[in-house]
A and B are shown apart, each in its own frame.
Chain A
Amino acid sequence: MNEALLRSLTPSVLAVLVRRGADFAAAEDAVQDALVEAIRVWPADPPRDPKGWLVTVAWRRFLDSARADAARRRREDLVEEEPVPGPAPAVDDTLQLYFLCAHPSLTPSSAVALTLRAVGGLTTRQIAQAYLVPEATMAQRISRAKRTVSGVRFDQPGEVATVLRVLYLVFNEGYSGDLDLAAEAIRLTRQLAAAIDHPEVAGLLALMLLHHARRAARTAPDGSLVPLAEQDRGRWDTESIAEGVQILQAALARDRLGEFQAQAAIAALHADAPTAEETDWVQIVEWYDELARLTDSPVVRLNRAVAVGEADGPRAGLAALAALDDSLPRHTAVAAYLHERDGDLAKAAQLYAEAAHKAPNLAERDHLTRQAARLNARRCR
């Protein structure tokens, strides 16, 4: 069975049910039931018309549960009504689903879970496994999210920016367990880009593709991090890079710059350099300046300090760093790197060790500990 096909059909099947008059929460449950049924039945008995099959099964499920409700609530008019079939603008419906699942009234984790289920077609179990929480917890998170958006009209236009933030969160989660969330985020962003013509959607898709292209080179076989400068560029996925660059160029040409396009531009400049030494750091600093104007984020200014260190030398980088709050995450790690480049190995080793202590995740902590150990070993020789 083709699970990718099954999942790609999810939003349009859900949209059919909603269009026929089902409320979003009930329709979403019915589609989820149909997906689980398809996973069970299709391998032995593949349908000729997968979407038609899903719509039929989901609609039947919806009617069953609506009847059960109606028996309780005496609300039989909707149930007896025959569905009004017929073609409809599926693309717009998909877009509405994105808006609904990323609605600003949802917390980020609820929006992520609802998007993965209702738009992504993942089962509650798969989402729970990916985020390392019990299935019962994830089921509750999703049903609360649906209750939260239950009053939102399905045809209300939403904000693209909120959708992009949700997809960016999914992408950044990477992959844990069986589910590749980065690949899923790319699929969902690609589908969104097909539904709406918006330069920041294109910018995010380009950014994801450019980062994803380096994934194989980013970790050593033992799982440790490989810094950008030391990556085997032969292992970068050139097809992904080419696609990302092309999408980015088309977006930039429209002259409506946003933060994802600017981030993608930086990723593209890295991807473009045949060797680390040939990286165009001057242009990267310019893009960071642009990004700082767009977002005013301290993390951006921290990354800018690294780029300044490469473009104008470590002293200039340290000067840029001195202007920033040293309680910023990764501030110490950046200071360690710049001091090493400046030749102060003792100070760098001490700062790497300190940065390792503060690292927010295991891979970074191990990486920074190794950096400290490497410098300490060199100094002792």
Chain B
Amino acid sequence: MAKYLLLKHYRGAPASVNNVPMDQWTPEEISAHMQYMRDFAARLEGTGEFVDSQALAPEGRFVRSDGAGRPPVTDGPFAETKDLIAGWMVIDVDSYERAVELAGELSAAPGAGGEPIHEWLELRPFLGSQHTTTE
């Protein structure tokens, strides 16, 4: 029973095997890809392993405090930022092996030519809660 984050990158991850950018797919290929993602999430809900899934806009702003009584400062977007998160899925599974298995399946979503993308997904464990008997 551990939660993992499956992170999908716009950029910053190693290149996919089927590395054709999405804007060069056919509309049907895009639909098939989206359907695969929805089916995957629905299946995980069915197995009792789904927690959350979100997609992110590619452009964001950086924000920081500028001191009490002053509005926060914003900056960006920075075109040169190397790492760009596209979205995530959170799963709750019995083992690391199961998390790897599911990440592998998600990575096989179809892309150009209907072929699996085989993209790299980043798998990160959540920091869990303190266990009572490991004092």
Measured CB to CB, the residues of A under 8 A from B are 107-110, 112-113, 131-134, 136-138, 140-142, 144, 168-169, 171-174, 176, 182, 207, 211-212, 214-215, 218, 225, 227-228, 263, 330, 359-365
Chain B residues lying within 8 Å of A182, measured Cβ to Cβ, are 132
User: Which of B13-21, B46-54, B72-80, B106-114 lines the interface with chain A?
Assistant: B46-54
Shortest A93–chain B CB gap in Å is 27
Which of B45, B93, B127 touches A361 (beta carbons < 8 Å)? Answer: B127
Shortest B39–chain A CB gap in Å is 15
Chain A residues lying within 8 Å of B47, measured Cβ to Cβ, are 140-141, 144
B1 at the interface (CB under 8 A from A): yes
B contacts with A, residue count (CB < 8 A): 24
Find out whether the CB atom of A174 lies under 8 angstroms from the CB atom of B129: yes
Chain A residue nearest to B46 (CB atoms) is: A140
Which of A132, A137, A176 touches B50 (beta carbons < 8 Å)? Answer: A137
A301 to B100, CA, bound (A): 29
Asked, given contacts A110-B48, A137-B45, A144-B47, whether A173 binds B135 with beta carbons under 8 Å apart, the answer is no
Find out whether the CB atom of B1 lies under 8 angstroms from the CB atom of A169: yes
Find out whether the CB atom of B94 lies under 8 angstroms from the CB atom of A108: yes
Asked, given contacts A109-B1, A131-B1, whether A174 binds B132 with beta carbons under 8 Å apart, the answer is yes
Shortest A225–chain B CB gap in Å is 7
Other than the given A140-B45, A173-B129, 20 more pairs (CB < 8 A) read A109-B48, A109-B92, A131-B1, A134-B52, A140-B48, A141-B49, A144-B47, A172-B131, A172-B132, A174-B131, A174-B132, A176-B129, A212-B132, A218-B135, A228-B135, A263-B133, A361-B127, A363-B130, A364-B130, A365-B127
Q: Mark B33-58, 1 if CB is under 8 A from A, else 0.
A: 00000000000111111111000000
Chain A residues lying within 8 Å of B132, measured Cβ to Cβ, are 171-174, 182, 211-212, 215
Asked, given contacts A107-B94, A131-B92, whether A142 binds B130 with beta carbons under 8 Å apart, the answer is no
Chain B residues lying within 8 Å of A168, measured Cβ to Cβ, are 133
Find out whether the CB atom of A171 lies under 8 angstroms from the CB atom of B94: no
Instruction: Enumerate the 3 nearest inter-chain pairs by beta-carbon distance, A residue then B residue, closest first.
Output: A141-B48, A363-B130, A140-B48
A134 to B92, CA, bound (A): 10
Measured CB to CB, the residues of B under 8 A from A are 1, 3, 44-52, 92-94, 125, 127-135
Which of A133, A142, A211 touches B135 (beta carbons < 8 Å)? Answer: A211
Find out whether the CB atom of A174 lies under 8 angstroms from the CB atom of B130: yes
Asked, given contacts A134-B50, A140-B48, A144-B48, whether A361 binds B94 with beta carbons under 8 Å apart, the answer is no
Chain A residue nearest to B98 (CB atoms) is: A107
A215 to B93, CA, bound (A): 28
Chain B residues lying within 8 Å of A138, measured Cβ to Cβ, are 48
A172 to B131, CA, bound (A): 5
A364 to B134, CA, bound (A): 10
Find out whether the CB atom of A133 lies under 8 angstroms from the CB atom of B46: no
A174 to B45, CA, bound (A): 25
A49 to B5, CA, bound (A): 48
Which of A132, A137, A227 touches B49 (beta carbons < 8 Å)? Answer: A137
A358 to B133, CA, bound (A): 19
